[in-house]
Amino acid sequence: MASLTLRDVAKAYGSTRVIESIDLDITDGEFVVFVGPSGCGKSTLLRMIAGLEEISGGDVSIGDTVVNEVAPAKRGVAMVFQTYALYPHMTVYNNMAFGLKQAKMPKDQIDKRVREAADILDIGPLLDRTPRALSGGQRQRVAIGRAIVREPEVFLFDEPLSNLDAALRVQTRLEIARLHERLGSTMIYVTHDQVEAMTLADKIVVLRGGDIEQVGSPMELYERPQNTFVAQFIGSPKMNFFNHSDLAQTAPPELRQVDEDTIIGIRSEHLSLCSAGEETLSATYELVEQLGEHALVHCTTSGGTEFIAKLDVPPQSGRDVPLYLRVSPDQVHLFNRETGLRK
């Protein structure tokens, strides 16, 4: 186990700068999730930590050692790949033992470690099979097992759940969370799925265009997004943005005060139906997505701004009848329109 520090880390392919300059501190035992849209550099950053990509600038340190020039296998990291990347011609046992064999570990010790890892992951009966004979979820466990046996300082996960179906994804997510509890190792996890990020992370790093947008605990990011990008990226459905002109006359006075240069952000789940005269917004709706426990109501304000309200009960009235919606002022996020930063 070890802490991990990135100082001014940059990556460029020729003259194309993929990652500008990233500073990040990860403490020992932390579960950190890199999240962002595709092309934001999150995987590149992970691969730089792993040693699979060269570091164009800055320093990556694991523990107290700068590892820029250290061979990937000597960095004390283990990685779980999106495609599992199991060795297809080896049995599960040999897949897990391969790294230890390369390190010339004695046979009995290899055996002990592999069987321990197999126990943790519940893949004992699969040890003699080849990856071909395994299901997606089982392959993923073997891939994790291959990482565990090396007893790394830092675990790296590169979108490990993307190739699993929805049910298995939820289950495996839980298992990864349990694994972290049990091993207590530092883990870095890359995903584009904000749900995975929210549920797993001690600390989320939101990336966009090769830069860090915000670092914080899941709830910090949810409750106090630093800019419009993070605001819309974290939370589902994404945060609604309104203009001053969308507000009703009866909106709370602190909201009425905001000027034209302010974006008013309100999460769908914070909107609720109210009677006329109490409303913050009035709108008509076009479409209702009924999800059972709640409904996603797609609305348009009189000013033409489209938004989604998450309501327990879908509106019973017709489509032309105005819906009155209210929000408590402390659940409103205000952003500067020009810079996108939180006010």
Partner 1 sequence: MQDRSLARLLQTPAVVLLLIWMLVPLGMTLFFSFIRYVLTSLRRPEWTTPSLDNWRGLGNYQFVWNNDGFWLAIYNSVLMVGSILVLTVVLGLAIAVLINRAFPGRGIVRVLLISPFFVMPAVNAVLWINMILDPVLGLQGLAVAGMNEMIDGLRTFPLLGGFFSLWPDLEPISFRATQTSAYAVIMMVTWQWTPFAVLIFMTSLQSEDQQQKEAAILDGANAWSRFRNLTLPHLGRPIAIVIMIQAIFHLSLYAEIEIVSRGNGNKNLPYLIGEFASNNIGAASATGIYAVILANIIAIFLLRMVGKTLMD
Give the binding site for partner 1 (CB under 8 A).
50-52, 71-74, 77-79, 81-83, 85-90, 98-99, 102-103, 146, 150
Q: Which is nearer to partner 1, 164 or 234 (CB)?
A: 164
Q: Which is nearer to partner 1, 50 or 271 (CB)?
A: 50
In the complex, minimum distance from the CB of residue 283 to partner 1, in angstroms, rounded to a whole number: 48
Q: Which is nearer to partner 1, 27 or 102 (CB)?
A: 102
C-alpha distances in angstroms, 248 versus 25, 228, 310, 330? Answer: 45, 23, 19, 17
In the complex, minimum distance from the CB of residue 282 to partner 1, in angstroms, rounded to a whole number: 53
In the complex, minimum distance from the CB of residue 63 to partner 1, in angstroms, rounded to a whole number: 18
In the complex, minimum distance from the CB of residue 45 to partner 1, in angstroms, rounded to a whole number: 15
**Residue 315 to residue 280: CA distance in whole angstroms:** 17
Contact (Cβ atoms closer than 8 angstroms) between residue 6 and residue 23: yes
Q: Which is nearer to partner 1, 100 or 308 (CB)?
A: 100
**Residue 215 to residue 25: CA distance in whole angstroms:** 10
Strand partners, 284: 300
In the complex, minimum distance from the CB of residue 207 to partner 1, in angstroms, rounded to a whole number: 21
Strand partners, 262: 336
60 burial (CB, 10 Å; 0-12 / 13-18 / 19+) is buried
Q: Which is nearer to partner 1, 81 or 170 (CB)?
A: 81
In the complex, minimum distance from the CB of residue 202 to partner 1, in angstroms, rounded to a whole number: 24
Q: Which is nearer to partner 1, 50 or 221 (CB)?
A: 50
**Residue 110 to residue 133: CA distance in whole angstroms:** 23
In the complex, minimum distance from the CB of residue 79 to partner 1, in angstroms, rounded to a whole number: 5
Q: Which is nearer to partner 1, 123 or 327 (CB)?
A: 123
**Residue 290 to residue 310: CA distance in whole angstroms:** 10
Only one residue has tokens 């949810």, namely 222
Q: Which is nearer to partner 1, 3 or 82 (CB)?
A: 82
Phi, then psi, of 128 in degrees rounded to 5: -95, 0
Strand partners, 216: 204
Q: Tell how strand 57-62 and strand 4-13 pair up.
A: antiparallel
Only one residue has tokens 């050692």, namely 65
Cβ contacts of residue 287 below 8 Å, gap of 6+? Answer: 297, 298
**Residue 189 to residue 310: CA distance in whole angstroms:** 30
In the complex, minimum distance from the CB of residue 78 to partner 1, in angstroms, rounded to a whole number: 7
